[in-house]
Structure 1
Amino acid sequence: MATVTASTPALGSVRLNHLAALDVKGADAEKFLQGQTSAQVSLADGYFAPLTCFCTPKGRMLANAQLMRLGEDHYRLLLSNTLLDSLANHLKKFAAFYRAELTTQRDLIFIGASDEAQALADQLDIELPVQVGTHTNSDQACVLRYPGETARWLVCFDNDSQVDVASVQDDQAGRNAWQLEDIRSGLAWLTDTQQDHFLPQMLNWEALGGISFKKGCYTGQEVVARAHFRGQVKKRLMRISIETTALPEVGASVVNDDDKAVGEVVVSAFNDQGGVELLAVMNTKVAEEETSLFLTGASAALLSLPYAIERVDPEQLAVSLNG
């Protein structure tokens, strides 16, 4: 377990070094992505940024991401930096058959901002998008509205932009505050530790609009669709609080009264009460049974998520955002 001093400052602005970007450009960029990703790529229209994921033929997630269209034949995937190279190498095997070029964007700066978002946008001469899941673009930056009780934005720009980043937090406490908002939003970004491990539904991806069940084939589509329509998903992402002063490791087991593993940690962060909140992939029976939960010896409790565990079609989500 990582022993980091608990601190959850109010979100101002913070460097988000855990994120990375993979750009896909070319005349066949949309066609290429359409055959690989769970998103209906045409929905990425320069305004709506659909959640998406990439799977193995067995339907296990290689990465989840947010898809933005930055220009004609130019798309950007935002994902964990631990998966950037592996996803790029995986997709390059298929991109060779299309007029599409993949570029890992290693010189981009990612800043998460709340109260200070407008000042940062003013420096970049770009508007802040209002609705969650939408973005704005300029020649030097893109800004994505993130979910959460606190209004927040992800700002992404080249490191040679004339932006004063000296005042931006670049510490674990600031990133912890951002991660806590992700957790409370029920949003988990896959990392290399659990790659090729979960079906998308196990991270509630269809409840977040991250899976199109109306598009054509993509790698892993048959397995993902079968699990949905046959009700075969027996594990779900759940939010949990634990009374501890140390962060659990990714993959740590949540156990019940009988010391039987019923879930595993995906992401965790300190909260303002001196404990930890986390998202864990749990056996769905846990929510139905009255049983105590424990994690590394500490008492754990289920917390609510801000959304229902039901299918949200990204096509309808796009209509509502553009309406």
Structure 2
Amino acid sequence: MRLMIIVHHERTARHGLPDGPWQGALRLIDWGVIRADGEDAATFLQSQLTQDFAAFHDGEHRLAGYCSPKGRLLASFIAWRAGPQRFHLACSADLLAATLKRLSMFVLRAKCRLTDASGDVALWGLAGAPALAWLDGAAAAPGSVTPRGDAGQVLRLADVQGVPRVLLAQPAVADPPPLPLLLAAAWSWLQVHGGLPVITAATADQFVPQMVNLELLGGVNFRKGCYPGQEVVARSQYRGTLKRRMVLFEAGPVTALPGEEVFHSGDPAQPSGLVVNAAPHPDGKRLALLVSLKTAALGQGSWHLRSPDGEPLVEAALPYALPAPGDDVP
């Protein structure tokens, strides 16, 4: 599949972030962890999620999605092995209970036990060079998982605008990392500018995985066996029916929530996009948004938040390439 950046007439520059409030540690209370235990854990997850769990290796983490029969994402995960027969699935805390309940309905006779491990596993977001120095080499290349301490694991995430990022999973009773407090706004800003979608309760059942670029981030495997919604996801990929993609925008000092609508000047009578995630800059002067929108409107007109005459949005550069029009089909 040939990939290229879609270039538009209006784009903000990438902002290097070597200094400022981009260093420290933050307890990610808006995330939760689902634990899958048992000799059939990999097989069960293989049958339910978009990732290839049968080929999952130790020492790596991957993205995955859980879809409805109509191919719409009910949840998104960062997944990794936490033991020989154990997987951890990190997801938005506000949809964990519903997701766990739904997944548990399909375990049936599989030797797999699903539980909410959020009370046992604390997730920390670490950023900046001091975090890497404290980890003392435990954070390897992006995509890796490295053991640390007593049952702790270090998940190296992709750097964003020069800032190293790490997801630390450790026992809830363990001491917090001895690092300065990282502002929640700083972590969220990096997350949004990294182009990594997080499905929340407000956006569950809204997007086919490709509408939020999940397959571009390695979160969808098109060669594995069936899972709920697999036919719809495959059809979107191979028949050229995908009409929406996720794009990064910036705006002025406003707020936005997942699930809010975005309008295009060429079709003001109806929304042309939906906010996936949004984050204010720590200085409060800018807002970053990931928006799933109609690709036919890209490169022309103007985009506005919440109404046709709402806050104007200016496209910014994602850290990865989007398919050019017509190149979605391999």
TM-score, normalized by the shorter chain, greater than 0.5: yes
CA distance in 2, matches of 1:136, 1:41: 19
The residue aligned with 1:140 is 151
Of 285, 288, 294, the match for 2:296: 285
- Compute the RMSD of aligned alpha carbons: 2.0
Q: Contact (CA 8 Å) 2:73, 2:208: kept in 1 or not? A: yes
Of 128, 131, 142, the match for 1:117: 131
CA distance in 1, matches of 2:132, 2:178: 16
1:23-46 Cα offsets, whole Å, 9 max, x none, are: 101011111111001111033212
CA distance in 2, matches of 1:118, 1:9: 16
The residue aligned with 2:85 is 73
Asked if residue 202 in structure 1 is aligned to residue 211 in structure 2, the reply is yes
**SS of structure 2 residue aligned to 1:306:** coil
The residue aligned with 1:180 is 189
The residue aligned with 1:4 is none
The residue aligned with 1:106 is 118
Which moved further from structure 2: 90-99 or 301-310? 301-310
CA distance in 1, matches of 2:191, 2:126: 13
User: How far has the Cα of 1:128 moved from its partner?
Assistant: 2.3
1:52-91 alignment to 2 at 5 Å?
52-91=64-103
CA distance in 2, matches of 1:48, 1:166: 25
Q: Contact (CA 8 Å) 1:13, 1:168: kept in 2 or not? A: yes
Amino acid at match of 1:236: R
> With structure 2 as the length reference, what TM-score do the two structures score?
0.84
The residue aligned with 1:16 is 28
1:82-108 Cα offsets, whole Å, 9 max, x none, are: 121111101111112200001111222
1:290-301 alignment to 2 at 5 Å?
290-296=300-306, 297-301=310-314
1:148-159 alignment to 2 at 5 Å?
148-149=160-161, 150-159=163-172
Amino acid at match of 1:253: E
Per the alignment, do residues 310 and 285 of structure 1 end up closer, same or farther by CA in structure 2, a change over 3 Å counting? closer
The residue aligned with 1:308 is 321
Amino acid at match of 2:111: R
1:234-253 alignment to 2 at 5 Å?
234-243=243-252, 245-253=253-261
CA distance in 2, matches of 1:157, 1:234: 40
Q: Contact (CA 8 Å) 1:70, 1:137: kept in 2 or not? A: no
The residue aligned with 1:190 is 199
User: How far has the Cα of 1:54 moved from its partner?
Assistant: 0.6
User: How far has the Cα of 1:215 moved from its partner?
Assistant: 0.6
Gaps of 5+ in 2: 1-19, 325-330
CA distance in 2, matches of 1:118, 1:303: 28
1:249-264 alignment to 2 at 5 Å?
249-257=257-265, 258-260=267-269, 261-264=271-274
The residue aligned with 1:321 is none
Q: 1 or 2, which has the higher helix percentage?
A: 1
CA distance in 1, matches of 2:101, 2:61: 23
Q: Any runs of at least 4 consecutive aligned residues in structure 1 with deviations exceeding 6 A, and if so which?
A: none
Q: Contact (CA 8 Å) 2:247, 2:315: kept in 1 or not? A: yes
Per the alignment, do residues 226 and 302 of structure 1 end up closer, same or farther by CA in structure 2, a change over 3 Å counting? same
The residue aligned with 2:275 is 265
Which moved further from structure 2: 17-26 or 38-47? 38-47
Gaps of 5+ in 1: 1-7, 312-323
CA distance in 1, matches of 2:124, 2:176: 12
Q: Contact (CA 8 Å) 2:32, 2:118: kept in 1 or not? A: yes
The residue aligned with 1:230 is 239
Q: Contact (CA 8 Å) 1:43, 1:50: kept in 2 or not? A: no
Query: Matched residue pairs, number?
Result: 294
The residue aligned with 1:316 is none
User: How far has the Cα of 1:11 moved from its partner?
Assistant: 2.7
The residue aligned with 2:230 is 221
Per the alignment, do residues 104 and 305 of structure 1 end up closer, same or farther by CA in structure 2, a change over 3 Å counting? same
Q: Contact (CA 8 Å) 1:207, 1:310: kept in 2 or not? A: no
CA distance in 2, matches of 1:222, 1:33: 17
Which moved further from structure 2: 21-30 or 246-255? 246-255
